[in-house]
Structure 1
Amino acid sequence: MLLPFLPFDPIETPLSYAARLARHHADKRVVPFLKDVQICPQAIVSSKPGALARLAEISGASLCELSRNVPIHKGSRIYDIRGELVSAEFLSNPHTIFCPACLAEDDQTGRRRGRWEWRLSVVRTCSHHGIPLLRQAQAKWDDVFHELDHRVPERDGELQALIENAVPRSVSPHQQYVIHRLEGKAGPEWLDAQSLEQAVRATELLGVLLEHGPDQKLPELTSDDWDHAGRVGFEFTSLGEAGIREALEAQIRKFDDASGTPGARKIFGCFYRALAYSKSLKEPGDIARILREVITENVAMPAGAKVLGVELRKRRLHTVASLAKEQDLDSRTLSDVLVAAGVIPDKAPAHYPIPVEQGRDIAGRTKRTVTVSSLWKNMDFTRPIVDQLFVDRLLTPIFYGRPGTKGRTQKAVEREELAMLVGKLHAKAVELGAETDGLVPVSKAAEKAKVPAITVVHMILGGFLERLFRLAGQDGVTALRVDPVEIKQHRTACSEGFSPMGAFSSLKISKTIGWCLADRSPEEVSLPVNWIVGPEEGHRIPRFDPAVVADFKARFIHPVRIAELHGLQLSEVVSRLKRWGVRPAVSEAEVGEDFYRIRDLKSDLFN
């Protein structure tokens, strides 16, 4: 054993210790000294166990302490550092890393030491002085021994200049996490569940994506760039899967307005490629699963597509184009229907994702719909009756109710519902071979009895009429024949109060808003319905009490009526209400319009 004993510093590397032994005992460079003491220089560079054992034997230092501060070579570019398996890329070799402030302090004692932390590529800031570490690229064959006395020739004033030029910064939480983990301390759960290198790569690559975008070329990043990326990425990876998903989904949102159909490789770019072709122990870790799930949950891809090496067994999302092609529909028509259904926003980009089952259901319903124009052109309905059928809810408009929706989409009806209505009407009628005196079509009978045609339809469905016939060979409402005299007999009973159209028109609201208010009954802001039940109790006729409608009109008002009453622009009315802090009694989000209590409006608010 060499005497006098030179203690090993727990913060340094075995190579640094060997260099200090060479200088202390032989006043030599490290390579000839190692040969003198029968240690293969390349073996100590590679941290071969035999070389470390020999260094411990000749120095008297603890083999355990020496081994603790060095990545032990395990073959095939794999190393073990303090129980963590890492690849050669995880280490800072072949660069020599140092902190000028640390070396200046070492120079005061006459013994420069290479810190074990500096061997890790993730360590880029001095944990003691809070300045960036400096990197010296390998220039000569023996630079791999990292002899700081020779690799860093600066002394005194030159070293001080390096210190003064350094921009102070704190140690990143990402770097702190790595050191703490190697010291045996627990960290964030998700990160601790990954291998150390997987945790580091996931964090830094995510940070690069968020900070530099998907088109960034990784080799072009500087050490400071990677440090910053680690800081950014750690904000999300430290939160586990939820944080990572938040970051990845935010990246997808950046492409909401992109033209064309950007795929996963376009959206995630360098991040995707780095995980798909990972050099990190051949397996990127759980981050790949999370990215894969985020992609399949947000990006439309066909069955059989591969996402990070895993085949998508079945399609999960469609675009309008792919859904239209699959369902053999016109893409423009389908887009209108999807907008009306609230599945996609108005003017959605081409790549907007549509859940497969939801999209197929809507596409199927679209195939089964009949447009309003077809109802009066091809199904023997008159146009006024069609409109009244929708108002009185005898037919349900498909996907109705979104502001700005195209009229043809609002007024489509499902074939099955239409067939059921026609079937009910025809089922109550007796077949008639030819026209008969005293019997007229529904629209003519309504005209003679001075009632809306929809009232006659309600009479038929409610079982009020005994003389009801259907001309053989004809379809729809126009095939029906009724007795106007009988219609007049039931006119009073079936016409009491306001019809839905009359009530809603009186309040200057749409039928959609009107029925929303009716459905809210008995809430304060609501319109209760008086249902008229005929001989056949399965059908009810909706009517509204004029007194109730008048009371509602006296108590509640909406901006359109206010604008009309005071001769103001609607925007000015809304502005004044907001400026005075007047809150609606019921909001547009609830019923399609803001309604205010008239008593809450000051008399001079709109003067």
Structure 2
Amino acid sequence: MTELLRPFLPFDPAETLLSWAARLAALHTGDRFVPFLRDFGIEPKSIVLNSEDAVERLCEVTGQDPAVVAQNRLKRAGVRRFALRDEVFPLEFTKGAMTAFCPACLAEDDRAGGNMHAHRRGKLIWTLRHVLTCPVHGLPLVERRRESWDSIYHELSLLVPEEGESLAALAEGLERRAPSGLQDYLISRLEGGTGPAWLDGQGIEQAARTTEVLGTLLEFGRDRVTSDLTLAERDEACRTGWHYTSRGAEGVREALQTVQDAFRDRNGKVGPQKVFGQMFKWLAYGTNQKDVGPIRDLLREHIFDTMAVVPGDEVLGEVLPVRRRHSVLSLAEHIKVHPKTLRNFLKACGAVAPDCEEQPDTLVTLDVAEGERLAELLKNAVPVSKLPKLMNCTRSQAQLMVDCGILKPIGRGGIEIGNSRCAIDRREVEELMADLKRRLPVIRREPEGRHGLARTAELSRVTLDVILPALFDGKLTSAARLAGQNGLAAVRLDPVELARFATVRPLGYGPSEAFKILKVSLRVGRALLAERPGGPLLRSRRVPVSAFARAGIWLMPQDLADFQCEYATHGNLCMETGLHHMELSHALKKMGVEPVVDPEEIGVRVYRWADIRAAPVDIWLT
């Protein structure tokens, strides 16, 4: 090899081929590199295209080892596709005609003296779209572009005229930051390093693009496209996206769920495109038929697993054969009930999140089998007010059946059907009545010494909350049914047999009686008794199960007095002040008094008297 040019200017392994050619021209001719290259029979555009013949010719006239230059040479690998080292990527992986630089790096190059353009190097990593920060100085890269035909040459001598103090001022005006995790990963990968397995398993541009698009969706919403972001916004998107894609498929699914959970538009039917916006459009309608990598399959499976996709509908190139999820809307249409009724029912049953109020009915979903099971339960749910007709009994007897636990409320007693907040499965009632009918012998006429439930309780002095559990547990051998009647009205009992259940009543109250004194419902009372940090709001004690303490829970008068002394329910405050509940709510809010426990958790607003007394005195307290 003959060395034709002196002095020798070696190729920097960190720079681009265009940068080296421009430096050679500045050193040897003081001019731009187009005439310089043509002096040696090299067409400038062939250097832009990294032509092997052009590179070899330039190495020949400079005495440079071609193997060193080859490491940074972009080779064509198809239409608008290139290969660099072991990676193949589309043109969009680069900054194209845009030129990026770090002013601090150029200032260091200028210190070499002489013609600064012979020393200013355009780094290879600066040409990559997702490299936005100088890894040496921690400065955001500055991007510039010449609006002319020769912008493809990326000549720093034209694009960065600043030098000395003006170049230093340019660097000082930038806010320092660490490179994004995505940038570090891409540079390491080009140098032969490895990273997260999920990203390593796809093309380098696929990994970068997925991270950037996902980060854009998370940070800037479903309507922003990456091409519209500023450089600072792109850097933020890459950082956010990396937090999830670096953790593989699990991290990406977490990000997608985060987007879904944050969706708050309740107007009309909501599908995947509306939720995932530009990301969905990119994967569904992207041009050039480019392979986007595993993100398309991942998003599709996430949609199938979490959204109510109708069987036969195509999503991102594939059809769902069997429905996996029901939404509140699709399930409501399936069983022909109002979506709001179904949503409240599902919340009470714990089948959907309690904080999904702002999400549309199409996005609140549940497993199809569980949804259809609960839908059947809702269709058979009846309010407590309808139980007397179903069981042929009095209202108080029906309520006792629930209070004693013989009938279990659906959804822990939080179902709103009609004017009732307690609903029972009709099938359970019918099964219970059928079992009683099978077990009890039939008597043809009113027997002497046997009576109906109410009269038996009166004569035996044993309350119905003791009699009913004993009846359904099969402990009353004298129990029979009067022919011609059905349900509980047909039951006949011997008061003498009930004598063994009577005991001396201890001081205090069972839960039901205590709740009546406090003027709270059974559901609210149970919530007050529940354990919580700092102890229950209403104290109770465990006692042996007896006729008076069927649940083994007993409350002393002091327990009730302590509760009334420390707490006040919203209803009791209304009665005490004479204010309408809305007026009272407004007054308490104005005074800054908040409930001690989330009302959704216990079913009523409970305030601490100390908070009310400590608040600024309002007119309703005078």
Q: Please tell me the TM-score bracket, short chain as reference.
A: 0.7 to 0.9
Q: Is the 8 A contact 1:70 1:116 kept in 2?
A: no
Counterpart of 2:85?
A: 82
Q: Name which of 327, 338, 342 aligns with 1:319.
A: 327
| 1:180 partner letter | S
2:129 to 121, 127, 131: 121
Q: Which residue, out of 403, 415, 435, partners 2:426?
A: 415
Which letter maps to 2:271? G
Counterpart AA for 1:322: S
Name the stretch that deviates more: 56-65 or 238-247: 238-247
The percent identity for this pair of structures is 34
Q: Deviations over 1:283-322 (max 9, x none)?
A: 2233334433444444333233333333333333323221
Alignment match, 1:559: 563
1:132·1:168 contact (CA, 8 Å) conserved in 2?
A: no
Aligned 8 A contact 1:95 1:138 in 2 = no
So what's the TM-score if we normalise by structure 1? 0.78
Q: Does 1:211 align with 2:214?
A: no
Unaligned segments of structure 1, at least 5 residues: 533-540, 576-582, 596-600
Q: Which residue of 2 aligns with 1:152?
A: 159
Q: Secondary structure at the match of 1:354?
A: strand
Q: Is the 8 A contact 2:135 2:179 kept in 1?
A: no
Which amino acid in the other structure matches residue 160 of structure 1? Answer: L
Question: Which moves more between the two structures, 113-122 or 462-471?
Answer: 462-471
1:252-267, aligned counterparts within 5 Å?
252-256=260-264, 258-267=266-275
* Structure-2 separation of matches of 1:394 and 1:153: 85
Map of 2:480 onto structure 1? 468
Do structure 1's residue 45 and structure 2's residue 56 form an aligned pair?
A: no
Contact 1:339–1:405 under 8 Å retained in 2? no
Equivalents in 1 of 2:39, 2:77: separation in Å?
A: 27
Which residue pairs with 1:17 in the alignment? 20
Alignment pair present for 1:65 and 2:77: no
Q: Is the 8 A contact 1:265 1:272 kept in 2?
A: yes
Aligned to 1:235: 243
Matched, 1:139 2:148: yes
Query: What residue ranges of structure 2 are gaps of 5+ in the alignment?
Result: 575-583, 589-595, 615-622
Q: Which residue of 2 aligns with 1:169?
A: 176
- Correspondence for 2:5: 3
Q: Distance in 2 between matches of 1:266 and 1:590?
A: 33
> After the TM superposition, which residues 162-561 of structure 1 pair with which residues of structure 2 at under 5 Å, given as runs?
163=170, 166-173=173-180, 174-256=182-264, 258-278=266-286, 282-344=290-352, 345=354, 347=357, 349=359, 350-351=361-362, 352-402=364-414, 410-433=421-444, 440-447=451-458, 449-458=460-469, 460-461=471-472, 462-466=474-478, 468-472=480-484, 474-482=485-493, 486-494=494-502, 497=505, 501-502=512-513, 511-512=522-523, 526-530=541-545, 543=550, 549=554, 554=558, 559-560=563-564
Q: Secondary structure at the match of 2:406?
A: coil
Find the residue that maps to 2:295 and give its secondary structure. Answer: helix
Greater shift in the superposed pair: 437-446 or 173-182: 437-446
Structure 1 pair 496–324 and aligned structure 2 pair: CA distance change class (3 A): farther
Taking a change above 3 Å as real, the CA distance of residues 15 and 331 of structure 1, as seen in their structure-2 partners, is: closer
- Output the CA distance in 2 between the equivalents of 1:90 and 1:337: 51
Query: How far 1:13 moved relative to its partner?
Result: 1.8
Give the partner amino acid of 2:92.
E
| C-alpha separation in 2, matches of 1:243 and 1:267 | 18
Residue 318 to residue 114, structure 1, CA distance change in 2 (3 Å):
same
Letter in 2 for 1:355: D
Asked whether the 8 Å contact 1:190–1:241 carries over to 2, the reply is yes
Paired with 1:569 and 1:157, the residues of 2 have a C-alpha distance of 76
Whole-Å Cα distance in 2 between the matches of residues 117 and 544 of structure 1? 73
Alignment size in residue pairs: 568
Q: Shift in Å at residue 415 of structure 1?
A: 3.1
- Please tell me the residue identity of whatever aligns with 2:328: V
| 1:172-212: CA deviation from partner (whole Å, max 9, x where unpaired) | 22333322322233444443343221221122222222332
Contact 1:292/1:307 (CA < 8 Å) preserved in 2?
A: yes
Tell me, yes or no, if the aligned pair for 2:211 and 2:241 is still in contact at 8 Å. yes
**Whole-angstrom CA distance in 1 between matches of 2:411 and 2:543:** 24
SS at match of 1:160: helix
For the residue of structure 1 that corresponds to 2:495, the secondary structure is helix
- The alpha-carbon deviation at position 50 of structure 1 amounts to 3.0
Q: Which amino acid aligns with 1:361?
A: R
Equivalent-residue separation in structure 1 for 2:163 and 2:49 (angstroms): 32
Could you list the per-position Cα deviations for residues 74-111 of structure 1 after superposition, in whole angstroms to 9, with x for gaps in the alignment?
A: 12111111211111011122233334454455453420
RMSD: 4.4
**Quick one: structure 1 residues 75 and 393, their matched pair in 2 at CA, closer, same or farther if it must change by over 3 Å?**
same
Change (3 A) 1:589 1:9: same
- State the AA in 2 paired with 1:527: R
Q: Check the 8 A contact 2:273/2:280 in 1, yes or no.
A: yes
Offset from partner CA, 1:137-168 (integer Å, 9 cap, x none)? 3412x33223333x337254795387268423
Distance 2:551 2:34 in 1: 102
Shift in Å, 1:323: 0.5
Query: Could you tell me which amino acid in structure 1 is paired with residue 261 of structure 2?
Result: R
Structure 1 pair 232–412 and aligned structure 2 pair: CA distance change class (3 A): closer
Distance 2:232 2:528 in 1: 61
CA contact (8 A) 1:400 1:410 kept: no
Q: Which has the higher mean CA deviation after the structures are superposed, 114-123 or 302-311?
A: 302-311
TM-score between both structures, scaled by the size of structure 2: 0.77
- Greater alpha carbon shift after TM alignment, 427-436 vs 63-72: 427-436
Q: Residues of 1 paired with 2:109 and 2:466: CA distance? A: 100
Q: Which residue of 2 aligns with 1:30?
A: 33
Distance 1:34 1:564 in 2: 90
- By how many angstroms is 1:327 displaced? 2.5
> How far, CA to CA, are the matches of 1:128 and 1:148 in structure 2?
19
Q: Using the alignment, how far apart are the partners of 1:589 and 1:325 within structure 2?
A: 27
Whole-angstrom distance in 2 between the partners of 1:348 and 1:569: 31
Contact 1:397 1:410 in 2 (8 A): no
Secondary structure (helix, strand or coil) at the match of 1:487 reads coil
Q: Bigger shift: 346-355 or 109-118?
A: 346-355
Q: Structure 2 vs 1, CA of residues 558 and 421 (structure 1 numbering), >3 Å: closer, same or farther?
A: farther
Q: Distance in 2 between matches of 1:343 and 1:153?
A: 62
TM-fit CA distance, 1:557:
7.2
Residue 514 of structure 1: how far off its partner (Å)? 7.1
Query: Partner of 1:93 in structure 2?
Result: 96
